[in-house]
Amino acid sequence: MALAVVFGGGGVRGAFQAGVWEVVGPQLKPDFVIGSSIGAINAWATTRLTPKELAEWWHTRVPDHLWPRQTQPLQQLITAISNRLVRNPWPALAVATRLPQRRAQVVTLTPDHATQWLLASSAMPGWFASQQIKGNWYVDGGVANDLPVAIARDLGATQILGISALGLGPTPQIGETPVLYPPKHTGAMFDFSLKHRQLLLQAGRDAGHTWMQSPQAQSFLASSF
């Protein structure tokens, strides 16, 4: 079996994903991870940070504000992650949306180009500017597929765990894939205040613990090894 973990887009709700990963991540060894938008950044971070470190990163290192059209804080965050030594060797893939076709573009991230592709994957229209890479323009991966379960399946994953961040884009062909969702009332997508991040981290931990105790999780984990 090929195991993939899929991280969805959703701004600050990426903190929820970090909380889930803190609980669930130590139990999994995915063949690859993939994400859109903030989920792509979290996917990349799993290759450089332990699950506990990723949660701590969201608590202490993520900026309190991400203003419209100002990508420098996000770029600095991505660069700091990329500069860390590899801890987990699985491939991390990012989904961006190519314009004008609005087609999903999937890229396997490397330190050489992770920053530019993660900025493209996170370029939410109306908030961050589209990104030009090799003559083509890209926006947020969530425009094409916010929770790219179907893409992971097309890439050969036979077992998939999705961790949503309740982004605004389409999520086609989820099917019977287990997905952990943040609470519906999680506050504004771009409220990066420490208090909000702490609430989301704890919600993720709670969701992770609840899922780990479920029969679905026991069956999933038993078939992962």
Global pTM exceeds 0.75? yes
CB atoms within 10 A of CB 53: 17
- Helix 72-82 with 38-45: angle, nearest 10 deg: 20
Cis peptide bond upstream of 100, omega within 30:
yes
pLDDT at 64: 92
pLDDT at 225: 65
Mean pLDDT calculated for residue range 26-38 = 97
Q: Distance (Å, rounded) from C-alpha 185 to C-alpha 219?
A: 29
Q: Distance (Å, rounded) from C-alpha 86 to C-alpha 46?
A: 9
Question: What single DSSP character describes residue 214?
Answer: S
Q: Distance (Å, rounded) from C-alpha 103 to C-alpha 106?
A: 10
pLDDT single digits (tens) 104-139: 999 999 999 999 999 999 999 999 999 999 999 999
Q: Distance (Å, rounded) from C-alpha 30 to C-alpha 198?
A: 27
Q: Which is nearest to 185 in space by CA: 200, 202, 206, 164?
A: 200
pLDDT at 184: 86
Q: Distance (Å, rounded) from C-alpha 205 to C-alpha 186?
A: 14
pLDDT single digits (tens) 151-198: 999 999 999 999 999 999 999 999 999 999 999 888 899 999 999 999
